[in-house]
Amino acid sequence: MLLGAMTGLSIEKYLPRYFQNGIGTILGAGLANAVSDFMGGAVTANWPLAFGTFIGCILILVIVPIYEKFFHKKD
């Protein structure tokens, strides 16, 4: 997960200024978590578990930018 967070942070600097608020770190860590959860389910050959946890993680990653846009108060 740490590798995903660092990758997201390094990619974030190439995005437009509007997106340079730490969201890349969250998305990078979330994607790394989704992949690792999928692999954990795949190792046990429990495909519904693997795809279910992967999709669950991705759904949360969709909610984070929406929350950031509408509910995060700027100082």
Predicted pLDDT at 75: 56
Higher pLDDT, 57 or 9: 57
pLDDT digits (tens, 9 = 90+) for 10-19: 888 887 777 6
Cβ–Cβ < 8 Å for 9, 24: yes
CA pair distance 39, 35, nearest whole angstrom: 6
pLDDT digits (tens, 9 = 90+) for 30-54: 999 999 999 999 999 999 999 999 9
Nearest to 25 by CA among 33, 70, 74, 52: 33
pTM of the predicted structure, to 2 decimals: 0.74
CA atoms in the 13 A half-sphere facing the CB of 19: 16
Extents of the domains making up the chain? 2-70
